Amino acid sequence: MMVLQTPATFLERIGTVLGPTDWRSISQSEISNFSKLTGDDHWIHVDTERAAREQPDGRTLVHGIYILSLIPKWQRQLFHITNRGAGLSYGYDRTRFILPVKVNAPIRLSQTVVKAVPHSLGTKVWLNSMIEVEAPEQVAVVAQAILLIADK
């Protein structure tokens, strides 16, 4: 884990690779709960019986947006800022869902600090995020996370 004194310390860490995080699997229960919250109930996510019949390996798929939403939690394994104010998600650029993630497949996050600039509230930081699947060891999701982290 990278420990930073202030958000501005990111300016000195351009090019630094953070991670990877621990492997994490997403259960069918999590997929079903996400589906209920968002209304995205496409059968490839929630119908285990149909998936067993019609999917190439008989398993449901995790929502790409759910995987993306795990990034803030995963970042707690990658960096900690000692003296800071609020951290806000400024959004994501260049998000791509490259490979379907199957239920119970181990995934993890790595990030690279690509840009950091002073902002009137603190520091704006761009992190290239890469989520990989353990087997077949391929990238499933890429996205550029943008954070606005306030000074204390």
pLDDT of residue 106 exceeding 90, the answer is yes
CATH number for domain 2-150, candidates 3.30.70.1530, 3.30.43.10, 3.10.129.10, 2.130.10.10:
3.10.129.10
Element (H, E) at 109: strand 107-119
Q: What is the pLDDT of residues 1-14, one digit of tens each?
A: 999 999 999 999 99
pLDDT of amino acid 65: 97
User: Strand 17-18 and strand 138-150: pairing?
Assistant: unpaired
Q: What is the pTM of this model?
A: 0.92
Q: What is the pLDDT of residues 123-148, one digit of tens each?
A: 999 999 999 999 778 999 999 999 99
